[in-house]
């Protein structure tokens, strides 16, 4: 019997991997499909509940694998029905997951779009100056099971089916590449969560080597670049990652990605008053976007306690968007949801953590 400290998360295994592990335990490989049906179709939360499996096998499973039953310690809903979940992991670490409903302005009143913003790390090491996730530093990567379990737990608590996932929660997904791709394969699999790859978006602050590596992966997931500045001067002021991967290097990786994936990128651009929302910033963004097949998603800054940045007025936001529109750059502005529940990444976790 394995120590509980080293039990493998059942949610971190693919069907093939579980079959191999079961064969090593003297069980037929076909049992793996039965186990996965219990987990992802019937959504049981213990091996004891898998009633059509032999009792001896259920004992073996409980001795070899663990369930990632994330503990929801706070659930906040907002006036616009955005909901934020603060989960405690098995080691006591806290992560956040946000459920975002469809925006009628973008998808129509009848849309049933439910987007889940998923975390990939506990904290973040990249230190973007406008983000709450990295204020307390980086603790560790999430394993694939902890990533997958966010989807399962939110669906359980909300009673709603998630049909769109964005890896834009806590952490830099590309810095946890192996666990991220393992989780994506489980979420996408017909025996797993069964979510199409084109409904999965991975966001990065600009890790150029991993962008190229993602381009070489077979899954047709979508990619969003957290740009937030269209010149090295502006970007380095708010995003330290730009020192290692300046815009020229990042854009080369973006071109490589679009050439290999034959799909459009999204540039995420948080508008911060006096930093990157000036007419000259918009003009620089136009020049940059024209180098690659991409659209721009502008997001007015979501104010974070303890940080100095401010949200531009709607007049400044509209003036910025007008420049993009005049240049025929595909662009939308997302009036950020969830102000009343501190929905920006990392805020709820910081409110809950004991003072250091």
3-state secondary structure 92-160: CCEEEEEEEECCHHHHCCCCCCEEEECCCEEECCCCCCCCCCCCCCEEEECCHHHHHHHHHHHHHHHCC
**H or E stretch covering 249:** helix 247-261
Q: How far is CA 239 from CA 243, 244, 283, 298, 300, in A?
A: 8, 10, 20, 17, 17
What is 297-356 written as a DSSP string? Answer: EEEE----TT----PPPHHHHHHHHHHHHHTT--EEE---S-GGGT-STTHHHHHHSPP-
Do both 251 and 194 map to the same domain? yes
Do both 148 and 296 map to the same domain? yes
Higher pLDDT, 81 or 274: 274
CATH for 26: 1.10.150.530
Do both 53 and 30 map to the same domain? yes
Give residue 336's pLDDT band: very low, low, confident or very high (50, 70, 90): low
pLDDT digits (tens, 9 = 90+) for 108-158: 444 678 999 999 999 888 778 777 666 677 889 999 999 999 999 999 999
User: Is residue 315 annotated as a catalytic residue, yes or no?
Assistant: no
Which residue out of 117, 131, 298, 345 is catalytically annotated?
345
Out of 14, 32, 66, a domain closes at 66
Do both 12 and 100 map to the same domain? no
Out of 28, 44, 66, a domain closes at 66
Do both 103 and 24 map to the same domain? no
Which residue out of 2, 16, 96, 308 is catalytically annotated?
96
pLDDT digits (tens, 9 = 90+) for 162-184: 999 999 999 999 999 999 999 99
User: Is residue 213 annotated as a catalytic residue, yes or no?
Assistant: no
Between CA 232 and CA 220 the distance in angstroms is 30
Between CA 242 and CA 237 the distance in angstroms is 9
**Burial class for 155, CB neighbours closer than 10 Å (0-12, 13-18, 19+):** middle
Residue 262 has pLDDT above 90, yes or no: no
Of 256, 276, 258, nearest to 320 by C-alpha is 276
Do both 31 and 87 map to the same domain? no
Do both 245 and 211 map to the same domain? yes
Whole-prediction pTM value?
0.89
**In the structure, how many helices (H) and strands (E) does the chain have?**
13, 14
pLDDT digits (tens, 9 = 90+) for 279-301: 999 999 999 999 999 999 999 99
Between CA 90 and CA 12 the distance in angstroms is 15
| Mean per-residue pLDDT of the chain | 89
Do both 282 and 222 map to the same domain? yes
User: In which domain, by residue range, is 296 found?
Assistant: 71-352
**Chain length of the chain:** 356
8 Å CB contact between 236 and 242? yes
Give residue 4's pLDDT band: very low, low, confident or very high (50, 70, 90): very low
Residue 269 has pLDDT above 50, yes or no: yes
Structural domain tally of the chain?
Answer: 2
8 Å CB contact between 258 and 212? no
What is the DSSP code (8-state) at residue 180? Answer: H
Out of 66, 81, 104, a domain closes at 66
Do both 49 and 86 map to the same domain? no
């Amino acid at each position: 019997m394995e120590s509980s400290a080293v039990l493998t998360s059942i949610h971190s295994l693919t069907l093939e991997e579980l079959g191999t592990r079961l064969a090593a335990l003297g069980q037929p490989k076909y049992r793996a499909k039965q186990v996965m049906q219990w987990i992802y179709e019937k959504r049981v939360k213990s091996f004891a509940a898998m009633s059509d499996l032999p009792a001896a096998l259920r004992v073996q499973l409980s001795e070899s694998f663990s369930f990632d039953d994330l503990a929801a310690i706070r659930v906040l809903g907002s006036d616009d029905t955005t909901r934020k979940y603060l989960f405690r992991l098995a080691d006591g670490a806290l992560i956040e997951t946000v459920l975002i409903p469809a925006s009628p302005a973008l998808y129509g009143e009848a849309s049933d779009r439910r987007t889940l913003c998923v975390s990939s790390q506990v904290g973040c090491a990249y230190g973007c100056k406008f983000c709450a996730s990295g204020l307390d530093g980086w603790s560790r990567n999430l394993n694939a099971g902890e990533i997958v379990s966010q989807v399962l737990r939110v669906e359980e608590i909300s009673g709603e089916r998630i049909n769109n996932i964005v890896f834009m929660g806590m952490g830099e997904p590309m810095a946890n590449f192996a666990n991220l791709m393992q989780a994506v394969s489980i979420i996408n699999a017909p025996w797993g969560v069964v979510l199409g790859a084109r409904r999965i978006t991975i966001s990065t602050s600009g890790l150029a080597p991993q962008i190229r590596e993602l381009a070489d992966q077979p899954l047709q997931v979508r990619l969003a670049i957290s740009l937030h500045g269209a010149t090295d001067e502006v970007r380095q002021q708010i995003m330290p990652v730009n020192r290692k991967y300046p815009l020229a290097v990042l854009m080369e990786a973006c071109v490589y990605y679009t050439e290999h994936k034959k799909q459009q990128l999204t540039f995420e651009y948080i508008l911060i008053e006096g930093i990157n929302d000036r007419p000259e910033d918009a003009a620089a963004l136009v020049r940059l976007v024209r180098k690659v097949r991409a659209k721009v998603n502008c997001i007015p800054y979501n104010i974070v306690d303890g940080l100095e940045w401010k949200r531009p007025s709607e007049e400044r936001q509209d003036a910025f968007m007008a420049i993009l529109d005049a240049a025929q750059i595909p662009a939308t502005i997302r009036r950020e949801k969830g102000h009343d529940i501190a929905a920006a990444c990392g805020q709820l976790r910081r409110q809950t953590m004991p003072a250091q």
